[in-house]
Amino acid sequence: MKDIFGRLAQDFFSTIVFLAIYLITGNVMLATSVAIAGAVGQVAYARYKGQQLGYMTWASLGLVIVLGGATLLTHDPRFVLAKPAIGHFAIGAIMLKRGWMLRYMPPIVTETVPEYVTIAGYAWAALMFVLGAGTIAVAATGDLKLWAFYVSVVLIGAKVVAFGVQYAAFRILVGNRIRAAARA
């Protein structure tokens, strides 16, 4: 699990840097410039260390340079604010693969209710698409404070709530299935 969060933090490094610099300084152009430099530095450091870079890291770098460059050229922050949406859409698309979630579940869940794990995987994909669409809608307003709240509270909060609902649902489903099997 720690490895997964580490990879996500690496993939969304430039967004995290942008948000931190913006919240500290209130300056979009500075935050964008530092996010671009941070993304380039992150890739350069990884290459220097001989680390293999995943597709999402390269995609993130390209998006930071293109969307950040558009923000710097036009002085319109909406370009860089839309970047997290693209990441959510990409993750949502990956989550459309049937059964992707099975490898993350404990054996008791995969052995007892595998069909619900598949359904949950599709629900997570739908959540990613909804959150991505919400990010674009918020970015389109150009309201940086609303965007900062959305990416730091709503995006994270929605995933925490979804995880909690999923955990409770699987406990109930597994318990019911085990009790039904014991009665039979």
Poorest-pLDDT segment among 54-68, 130-144, 145-159:
54-68
DSSP letter for each residue of 145-167: HHHHHIIIIIHHHHHHHHHHHHH
Q: What pLDDT, in 10s, does the model give residues 6-64?
A: 666 776 788 888 889 988 998 999 999 999 999 999 999 988 999 887 666 787 788 88
pLDDT grade, residue 111 (50/70/90)? very high
The two tokens of residue 130 are 């909804």
- The pLDDT, as a whole number, for residue 56 is 66
Tell me the Ramachandran region of residue 75: left when phi exceeds 0, alpha when psi lies from -120 to 50, beta otherwise: left
The set of residues, in sequence order, having a beta carbon less than 8 Å from that of 33 and lying 6+ positions away, is 68, 72
Q: Give this prediction's pTM.
A: 0.75
